Structures are given as structure tokens and as C-alpha cells.
Amino acid sequence: MKIGLIGLGIMGKPMAKNILKGGYTDLLVSDLNQAAVEEVAVCGAKASSNEEIGRTCDVVLTMLPNSPHVKSVMLGEGGVASFMRPGTVFIDMSSINPVASQEIAAELKAKGVEMLDAPVSGGEPKAIDGTLSFMVGGKQEVFDEYKPLLETMGASVVLCGEVGAGNTTKLANQIIVACNIQALAEALTLAKMAGVDPGLVFEAIKGGLAGSTVMNAKAPMMLEGNRKPGFKIDLHIKDLNNALDCAHSVGAPVPMTAEVQEILQWLHNHEGGQKDHSAIAEYYEYLTGASLAC
């Protein structure tokens, strides 16, 4: 199987390396960042162009920032889809609007190309160790054929429905993650202002009902003042914009999502857009003057 992967950012680069480690050695890669391409090529991939990937690969993967980027790469002038053969498959691992996924799938279907939307959760750490969670939309038979490929990058690969269901599931995931981080920052700030060590609060509650993967990953970052992005605030803003758009279109109430989006936007406007989303703690520090960092 010849595989093409377009997009070697924070997530795409380690995902490409895990594809190679998983035994899929016929891998072509493309990105605007040539240093990232060269790094993955050293591991055994072939540096390529979008055109060559479209013409020669059995399956094309993308890991790109948002809907316009995926549409441009796939459907724009000279886009990858214009070179793909009938019977090939496109798997978009980007987190985009489910409506955009369905629009892209419709265009590809006319060309005889099947599509899966397969966004991921887990951030850079899980991309590196190959334990991402994949939320997939598409046909059962296409999913079954390419599930082993996705399993080289993820510990959980679940088909959620037809095309678009993957990204709808990812939006639900991003709402839960964002609201959890906000609640965590708020609770630890309360502890700090009440004179209780927030680190001890974290140790005391992480094994109980309040404990979560989000808490285990983000509380230490808040307490250390570590803002190195495993997932950038600007990317979470993008995801919540998509969640709000989707919610408005189907009439779903999302007041908590809207609130945490405003906090993220405030951080973006105060030079926080490239920080990890655990920097929500800085918003509470701004309001209270109480820093969680030891």
C-alpha cells in the first residue's frame, strides 16, 4: 500500500513516524515546512509533492489546521483530488467542520474516491507515543480496510457513523476538554486564594470522581507554569468556533462552550494564542492576581 501524508505539524510529524514504525514503509510526505519533511524523510519516508501523492498513492491522509486548508489542498486549483484515481481513498485526520467534511466527500464521490473523516484527540504527547483516539466517519467497509493503518497512530479507533460523524464527535470532545480545563483552573485558583496548596488539592482529588485525563495532563502544567503547547489555544478556538457553528445550525444549546470560548479569545488577544490551552489559568491569574505556578 502506497500512502501519502500531507501536513507535518505538531501532530502530523510524529504521526508520520508512527506509520513508518507500524510497518507501512511506502510513505510519501509533503508540507510547506521543508525541515519537517526532511526530518521524516530521515526516518524512511519519501519527500514528495501533493501532485505526486495524488497520482501515485492508494490512500491520501491529511493533517491540516482547518476546513479552508483541507478544501484548498484537496479541491483547489491543482488540488490533490484532481490527480487521484477512482478506487483510491482520502482520510482527513484534521479537525474541521462536519459540514465541510460532507462537502468534500460529495466532491470526491463524483470522482470515484471514498472518504473517511478521522479527527484525533490526545495532543502532541499521544501523537508521539502512538496512542491517539480516532473518531471516524464513513462507510464500514472503508473503515475496516484502513483501521490497521490508523492503529499505527492510535490506541482507540472508533467508527461513529457516516462521513461527518467523526468531526461531530471531535467537536463534542473539544467542548468537554475546554470546559474541564476551565473548571480545573477555576477550582485550583479557589484553593490558592483560600490558602490551600493547589498541588495538594490535585493529589487529593485526582483519584476520585473529579479525576480525568484532562486533569492529569493539565494540572501539572498549570502548577509548573509550563505553557509549551501540546495543543495551542488558537487551535482550540478554531475547534470551538466549529462547535458553535454546528450547534447553531442544529439548534443545540451550548452556553458553557460560549463562555470558555470567550476566555480563550481573551487569551488570544493578550498574546496567548500560541500557548497551551492550560494557559486558561492565566485568565484567572489576571482576574485575581493569584498564580498557580509554584
DSSP at 84: P
Confidence check: pLDDT of 294 > 90: no
Q: Each residue of 256-272: pLDDT tens digit? A: 999 999 999 999 999 99
Mean pLDDT for the stretch of residues 9-34: 97
The CATH code of the domain at 168-288 is 1.10.1040.10
- Using only the alpha carbons of the chain, give its radius of gyration: 20
Q: Do domains 3-162 and 168-288 have the same CATH topology?
A: no
Provide the annotated active-site residues. 170
Instruction: Write the class of the CATH domain 3-162.
Output: alpha beta
Q: C-alpha distances in angstroms, 104 versus 96, 144, 235, 244?
A: 11, 21, 21, 21
pLDDT of residue 292: 96
pLDDT, averaged across the chain: 96
Sign for the CA dihedral angle at 236, 133, 243, 183 comes to negative
Separation CA 142–CA 137 (nearest Å):
10
Mean pLDDT for the stretch of residues 13-31: 98
**Could you tell me which residues are beta bridge partners of residue 47?**
29
Separation CA 126–CA 14 (nearest Å):
9
CB 181, CB 256: distance < 8 Å = no
123 pLDDT band (50/70/90 cuts)?
Answer: confident
Mean pLDDT for the stretch of residues 119-133: 94
Please state the domain extents for the chain.
Answer: 3-162, 168-288
Q: Each residue of 81-90: pLDDT tens digit? A: 999 999 999 9
Mean pLDDT for the stretch of residues 159-178: 97
pLDDT of residue 86: 98
Phi, psi dihedrals of residue 96, rounded to the nearest 5°? -135, 180
Burial 210-223 (b: 16+ CB within 10 A, else e): eebebbebbbebbb
Q: Each residue of 53-83: pLDDT tens digit? A: 999 999 999 999 999 999 999 999 999 999 9
pLDDT of residue 230: 84
Mean pLDDT for the stretch of residues 172-184: 97
Q: Which residues contact 236 (CB under 8 A, 6 or more apart)?
A: 174, 177, 178, 264, 277
**Could you tell me which residues are beta bridge partners of residue 114?**
89
Helix axis angle for 213-224 and 198-205, nearest 10°, is: 170
Burial 9-21 (b: 16+ CB within 10 A, else e): bbbbbbbbbbbbe
Q: Each residue of 201-217: pLDDT tens digit? A: 999 999 999 999 999 99
CB 148, CB 99: distance < 8 Å = no
pLDDT of residue 242: 93
CB 115, CB 163: distance < 8 Å = yes
pLDDT of residue 180: 98
194 pLDDT band (50/70/90 cuts)?
Answer: very high
For residue 37, give the nearest of 5, 78, 1, 83 by alpha carbon.
5
174 pLDDT band (50/70/90 cuts)?
Answer: very high
Mean pLDDT for the stretch of residues 92-105: 95
Mean pLDDT for the stretch of residues 45-60: 98
